[in-house]
């Protein structure tokens, strides 16, 4: 083979390796954030009304998983209005607020969140995601927002990653609204009493059958 042919093959091999590396790197991305709404597999967080408290709470899913909202800006006080677009806003001395963190109680995990940032001014928000199996333990990225009240984001964990908390910081925010969560612990269902009764009856029946067989063998 000529020296030119060997060089050509080397360049081709390097190009293929580069393409494979790029594809593999994209596939390994563990947190995906899009500017927009993907509600699939999520439920509304039903807020509990509150005024000037440190931790706003809500529930989500058929098992009523508890969701906590906290802030480290200003006085750290928050308000919650469950009506209309269900907003979490800054309380006394914290409005507009510049930081908000939310997640399930007891460090339970989820895999998708949808929310709308009502920014006070045009600016940049930093979205920080912490969780389990996330590369480096934390995902951090910045996104442009404007003051029109329509800054929807969807955060999704893929490839087995699980989200524990999402933090928003930077731009002054009038409120964060229409929060939805899904996946992970939210999808875990608790068996109904009737189902538990049927399961128990079935186990008793199986045990009785084994007992009869055992007695026949003894006879």
Task: Give the span between the Cα atoms of 111 and 29, in whole angstroms.
Answer: 14
The residue-averaged pLDDT of 17-21 equals: 40
Q: Rounded distance, CA 31 to CA 24, Å? A: 15
| pLDDT tens per residue across span 158-177 | 999 999 999 999 999 999 99
User: Is the bond leading into 96 cis (omega within 30 degrees of zero)?
Assistant: yes
Pick the CATH number of 29-187 from 2.40.50, 1.10.8, 3.10.310, 2.60.120: 2.60.120
Q: Is the pLDDT of residue 63 over 80?
A: yes
179-193 confidence digits (pLDDT tens): 999 999 998 655 445
* CB of 30 closer than 8 Å to CB of 137: no
Q: Quick one: residue 130, left, alpha or beta (phi over 0 = left, psi -120 to 50 = alpha)?
A: beta
Residues 58/95/101/177 CA torsion (nearest 10 deg): 50
Q: What is the pLDDT of residue 12?
A: 47
pLDDT above 70 (res 126): yes
Query: Which of residues 3 and 101 earns the better pLDDT score?
Result: 101
65: which strand partners?
Answer: 60
Domain boundaries along the sequence of the chain: 29-187
First-to-last alpha carbon distance for the chain, in angstroms, is 85
Contact residues for 198 (Cβ-Cβ < 8 A; gap 6+): none
Residue 130 has pLDDT above 90, yes or no: yes
Mean pLDDT (the chain) is 82
Tokens coding 41: 């597999």
Strand partners for 144: 124
pTM greater than 0.85: no
pLDDT band at 219 (very low <50, low <70, confident <90, very high): low
Task: State the Cα–Cα distance between residues 217 and 34, nearest whole angstrom.
Answer: 66
């Amino acid at each position: 083979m000529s020296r030119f042919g060997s060089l050509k093959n080397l360049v081709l091999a390097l190009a293929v390796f580069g393409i494979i590396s790029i594809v593999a790197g994209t596939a390994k991305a563990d947190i995906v954030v899009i500017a927009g709404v993907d509600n699939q597999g999520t439920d509304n967080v039903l807020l509990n009304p509150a005024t000037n408290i440190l931790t706003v709470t809500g529930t989500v899913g058929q098992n009523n998983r508890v969701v906590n909202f906290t802030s480290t800006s200003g006085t750290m006080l928050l308000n919650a209005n469950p009506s209309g677009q269900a907003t979490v806003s800054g309380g006394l001395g914290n409005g507009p607020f510049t930081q908000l963190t939310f997640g399930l109680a007891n460090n339970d995990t989820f895999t998708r969140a949808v929310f709308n940032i009502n920014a006070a001014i045009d600016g940049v928000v930093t979205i920080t995601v912490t969780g389990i199996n996330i590369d480096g333990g934390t995902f951090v990225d910045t996104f442009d927002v404007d003051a029109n009240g329509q800054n929807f984001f969807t955060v999704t964990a893929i490839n087995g990653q699980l989200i524990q908390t999402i933090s928003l910081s930077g731009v002054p925010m009038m409120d964060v609204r229409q929060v939805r969560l899904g996946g992970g612990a939210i999808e875990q269902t608790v068996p109904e009493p009737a189902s538990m009764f049927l399961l128990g009856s079935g186990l008793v029946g199986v045990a009785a059958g084994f007992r009869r067989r055992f007695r026949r063998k003894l006879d």
